[in-house]
Amino acid sequence: MRLTLLLKRLPRFKTGLFISLLIIFFFIVLYFLYGLFLVRNIVVISKNKKKDIQGLSVYQNKNILLLSTEVAEKEILKKNAQLQKVSIKKVLPQKLLVEVAQYLPIAFLKVSNGFFVLSEDGRILFKKKEEDKGLPVMNYYQTFDAASYDVGQFLNLKDITTTLIFLKKLNELGMKVDDVAIDGPHMILCKVQNKELIFSAEKSKEKTLLELETIVRQFTVEGKEFKSLDLRFDKPIVKF
């Protein structure tokens, strides 16, 4: 009687054992696949000089399939004021390609307790106690409180953003600016060695930049040196 009952239960036992083994096998495969797609290698691609990119380490050992590149790009931009653009691509199974475009510092802005290092569009890239050689110093008619501004913030003031555009153009023309005095929107003075260039933020930027480039290139071809170039008015004023 007991033997007959045991024989009846045996198929059920085999079925239950098979299901249990199948479940165990499924989880083993799942664990293997999860480990296969963990981020092990992060490669940074940059045209500029590479610097430490903050926030990348948190993606190490993250599941690459579950990683949102769009969210990661926004997070990295927030943590790195010097970055203008971030593009992340997945290379399965374990690699991330992080292509970054860095802002180039174009000028120092004198503020309380030091300087802001500004990009060409007015973003504060760094705060420094002392200026470095190689970049012009902008002296504004009002003193900015360094503590009131954060790295990554933009200075959206017309006379400052206009000045940065002029500085970029002067760099392209091979004219190294030493310092800049902004005494108001209509009085922006750039010193280039023994030359003075005067601009206005109230005048059309496109017209001013065209006049600047035309005059500088013409004088270069003719071999002329000027002492002062005033571009604030409809007709530029040149002094030799």
Q: What is the pLDDT of residue 85?
A: 93
Which amino acid is located at 160 in the chain? I
Mean per-residue pLDDT over the chain, rounded: 88
| DSSP letters for 34-102 | HHHTB--EEEEEESS-----TT-GGGTT-BTTT--HHHHHHHHHHH-TTEEEEEEEEETTTEEEEEEEE
**Listed range (10-14, 24-28, 89-93, 130-134) with the worst mean pLDDT:** 10-14
Q: Is the pLDDT of residue 69 over 70?
A: yes
User: What mean pLDDT is predicted for residues 174-197?
Assistant: 94
d(CA 90, CA 210): 44
CB neighbour list of residue 187: distance below 8 Å, 6 or more residues apart: 181, 198, 200, 232
Q: What is the pLDDT of residue 7?
A: 45
Higher pLDDT: 30 or 209? It is 209
Enter the pTM of the model: 0.77
Q: What is the pLDDT of residue 129?
A: 92
Which amino acid is located at 91 in the chain? V
* HEC assignment per residue over 161-183: HHHHHHHHHHHHCCCCCCEEEEE
d(CA 54, CA 44): 12
Which amino acid is located at 101 in the chain? A
| pLDDT tens digits along 14-49 | 566 656 666 775 666 656 666 688 999 999 998 876
CB neighbour list of residue 215: distance below 8 Å, 6 or more residues apart: 229, 236, 238
Cα-Cα-Cα-Cα dihedral sign, residues 46, 52, 53, 58: positive
Enumerate domains of the chain plus CATH numbers.
41-102 (3.10.20.310), 107-239 (3.40.50)
Higher pLDDT: 18 or 218? It is 218
